[in-house]
Structure 1
Amino acid sequence: MKRALLEVPPPELAEWMVDRGFPGFHARQVLRWVFQRRVEQFALMSDLPKALREQLDAEWQVFATEVAYHHVSPDGTDKLLLGCADGRRIECVLMAEGERRTVCISTQVGCGMGCVFCASGLKGVERNLTRGEMVEQVVRLRNLLPAEETITNLVVMGMGESLANLDNLLAALDRICSSEGLGLGQRRVTISTVGLPEKMMVLAGLGRQYHLAVSLHAPTEALRNELVPINEKVGLGAVIDAADAYFRNSGRQVTFEYVMLRGINDRVEDARALADLLEARKAHVNLIPYNPVATLPYERPFPSTIQKFVSIVRGRGVSVSVRKTKGREIDAACGQLRRRFEDRPTVAIS
């Protein structure tokens, strides 16, 4: 099997070249073609010796994934379903709004956190993604953009619990943010987590400038235990304490994601409890009206309910916004597209 180019550190690629009689500096050229010039075939890397291009083509592949499905919604959202080398499938999304070009990537095949309303975790977690599989999602989505455009923001909010695969995620982000990668600023990266306090503390101690988004979904211990089963093991208080530590160490305001479910966590008493929890903190609440999933019983709140919830929380001095839903026509919510296609053969779309 050919090796995946984006899995290996640049020094390892340079060493491979030297072992075969080629100067190691050609490794930088290869990566420049992929990251800066958007080339996906070794044969097109015209400033490399022909013999090296042929050797690369024989032993390496630029992408180890294949595009199983690509669709664009009427609002311009691109959704890719990628087939991995082992046959498993993952999802990633490109969203355009104004001057922003945001990509959303996955970190695992499936998810083991068990949030009751989420499509990603209906079959549990199958495995962690490698660093290269994460980088490939970003590069593939970037390559969908016109030549004069590039990615402005990256959100790690796709399939999987980001911090459960922290080492591979950090390695992938190091490459994406490197000047020899895509050069994306750390402050333009948002890492989402359901709330793993120990991993949050590790991330807080690294001195990175990534933005942290905690998937809260409930303002009380009892309700969060129902909606986010992992909370029974970690506890809401520990999650909030770890979020506070991240803010102290990084200086970055933490966002609390809150999926709104009709009649379950969108009530007046829920809004008041959320305000009680966060009003003394420098935090932001991102309300996410539920994107319905087939076979699950949860529904999207009424617009009037959302407005009332916002009014109560904002009235207590807590920063709050409502996420605009994009890509509903193409199953853009995490895990939906994979479920729809999981029993179909992989067919690449050009």
Structure 2
Amino acid sequence: MIWQCFFESLEYGMKMNKPLVNLLALTVQEVGQLVQELGWHRYRTHQILQWLYQHRVLAIEGMTNLSKVDRERLQQVATVHHDQEISRQIARDGTEKFLWRLIDDLAVETVMIPEERRRTLCLSSQVGCTLDCGFCLTAQMGIKRNLRAQEIVGQVLNVQALLPEGDHITSMVFMGMGEPLMNFDAVADAIQRLTNMEWGLGFSPRRITVSTAGWIPRFPDVRRLGVNLAISLNGTTNAQRDRLMPSVNARYNLDALLMACRKYLEDSERPLTFEYVLIAGVNDSVEDANRLASLLRGLRCKINLIPFNEFPGNPFRRPAPEGINAFQQIVRSRGLDVFLRKSRGDDVLGACGQLGRSASEVLETAPTRSKRSLPIYAES
């Protein structure tokens, strides 16, 4: 009944000159339903999907294994819409920060980190963030809305299209704006499109990492996706996490989080990654280093230490280099794999915890308009 109403609205929309359906906004099943409604053979579904994600066409006219008549028919009801690039900033170290305008005039940021021949793309999953982590600039925005699957995948398609010939995105991390596990359905849909080998972009799930502040009800769902899971820990006591990450720790405290991590590892072949933002005078003491090693002892994991990336208006400070090194050595001496993450792109506010300023500025200057859901249309 829902799909009958949907396609009746399409037929009505064609007659009344209503907005076209954005093919990138449709799920696999919805593309199949569209193909069926048009009276085409089922194999057209994979053809259309391959054009969207493997050939990355910008318009239906480019789908050349559809006949001219079929392309014209499809153009009557559908289009291909990509979010608009607002700006592209290049940091001194080559890191690039992209700002995209979404269909409702909100904006979101994406960061690409080059390292020799590798290209890591840091993806956003929300406009703003549901959580309130005190060391993160994005949290200051609050939550505007969840990104839709096509807006997540669109970051990948748009950046890849801008890379020089021969350069390719090699890995992706959901560590941009937002808490991915609080927008799980869209993130999972996006990951399906990114990893599908028959019609999708064909990325290995092993090259994708989803980071969470500790939204543990979704841990089993992440495991089923086959991607890597990273936990943003940042404290060795509940008091520290209450100060740094109050919302999530009030819901799932340190004991619950570590129990969920142990359960996750029982059913997963992949090790966990724990991220630990080092903040001077808050969580960087010798006692913290020893507590961290004790908390994670026996878990299959690695630890990424991230010296706090400062941003205007935040009272926290980055520890001195000698303190950072000492912290790492203490944890390492206790037998854990611990690595120091270099800050990348901090001069354009593109480093870990620094995203959101550019998106907020777009929001402040955007014209006032009614807020409404635009799940499948290319235009408002």
TM-score with structure 2 length normalisation? 0.84
Structure 2 contact 106–359 (Cα < 8 Å) conserved: no
1:43-54 correspondence runs (5 A): 43-54=61-72
Deviation at 1:83, TM superposition (A): 1.5
Deviation at 1:316, TM superposition (A): 0.6
Indicate the SS of the match to 1:244.
Answer: helix
Aligned mate of 1:264, from 276, 282, 285: 282
1:80-119 correspondence runs (5 A): 80-119=98-137
How far, CA to CA, are the matches of 2:324 and 2:63 in structure 1? Answer: 52
How far, CA to CA, are the matches of 1:291 and 1:132 in structure 2? Answer: 30
Structure 2 contact 125–152 (Cα < 8 Å) conserved: yes
- AA in 1 matched with 2:242: N
Q: Please identify, of 53-62 and 28-37, the stretch whose mean Cα deviation from structure 2 is larger.
A: 53-62
Structure 1 contact 201–245 (Cα < 8 Å) conserved: no
1:1-350 correspondence runs (5 A): 1-179=19-197, 180-204=199-223, 206=224, 208-229=225-246, 230-332=248-350, 333-344=354-365
Deviation at 1:104, TM superposition (A): 1.2
Structure 2 contact 293–331 (Cα < 8 Å) conserved: yes
Deviation at 1:305, TM superposition (A): 1.1
Q: Give 2:14's aligned residue.
A: none
Structure number with higher helix proportion: 2
Q: Give 2:15's aligned residue.
A: none
Indicate the SS of the match to 1:117.
Answer: coil
- AA in 2 matched with 1:217: N
Deviation per residue, 1:129-156 (Å, 9 max, x gap): 1111111112112222233232221111
Structure 1's 302 and 57: CA in aligned 2 closer, same or farther, altered over 3 A?
farther
Structure 1 contact 78–93 (Cα < 8 Å) conserved: yes
How far, CA to CA, are the matches of 1:250 and 1:345 in structure 2? Answer: 45
How far, CA to CA, are the matches of 1:46 and 1:26 in structure 2? Answer: 12
Structure 1 contact 77–95 (Cα < 8 Å) conserved: yes
How far, CA to CA, are the matches of 1:289 and 1:271 in structure 2? Answer: 14
Indicate the SS of the match to 1:143.
Answer: helix
- AA in 2 matched with 1:318: L
Listed as ranges, the gaps of 5+ residues in structure 2 are 1-18, 368-380
Deviation at 1:22, TM superposition (A): 4.7
- AA in 2 matched with 1:122: Q
Deviation at 1:252, TM superposition (A): 1.0
Structure 2 contact 93–344 (Cα < 8 Å) conserved: yes
Listed as ranges, the gaps of 5+ residues in structure 1 are none
Indicate the SS of the match to 1:339.
Answer: helix
- AA in 2 matched with 1:188: R
How far, CA to CA, are the matches of 2:220 and 2:169 in structure 1? Answer: 28
Indicate the SS of the match to 2:295.
Answer: helix
- AA in 1 matched with 2:182: A
Structure 1's 83 and 200: CA in aligned 2 closer, same or farther, altered over 3 A?
same
Structure 2 contact 222–229 (Cα < 8 Å) conserved: no
- AA in 2 matched with 1:219: T
Structure 1 contact 330–337 (Cα < 8 Å) conserved: no
Deviation per residue, 1:248-268 (Å, 9 max, x gap): 111211111111112211222
Q: Please identify, of 138-147 and 127-136, the stretch whose mean Cα deviation from structure 2 is larger.
A: 138-147
Structure 1's 41 and 72: CA in aligned 2 closer, same or farther, altered over 3 A?
farther
Instruction: Compute the RMSD of aligned alpha carbons.
Output: 2.0
Deviation at 1:57, TM superposition (A): 4.1
Deviation at 1:14, TM superposition (A): 4.0
Structure 1 contact 313–320 (Cα < 8 Å) conserved: yes
Deviation at 1:294, TM superposition (A): 1.5
Larger RCO (alpha carbons 8 Å, 6+ apart): 2
How far, CA to CA, are the matches of 2:97 and 2:69 in structure 1? Answer: 37
How far, CA to CA, are the matches of 1:62 and 1:315 in structure 2? Answer: 54
Larger radius of gyration: 2
Question: Between the two proteins, what is the percent identity of the paired residues?
Answer: 36
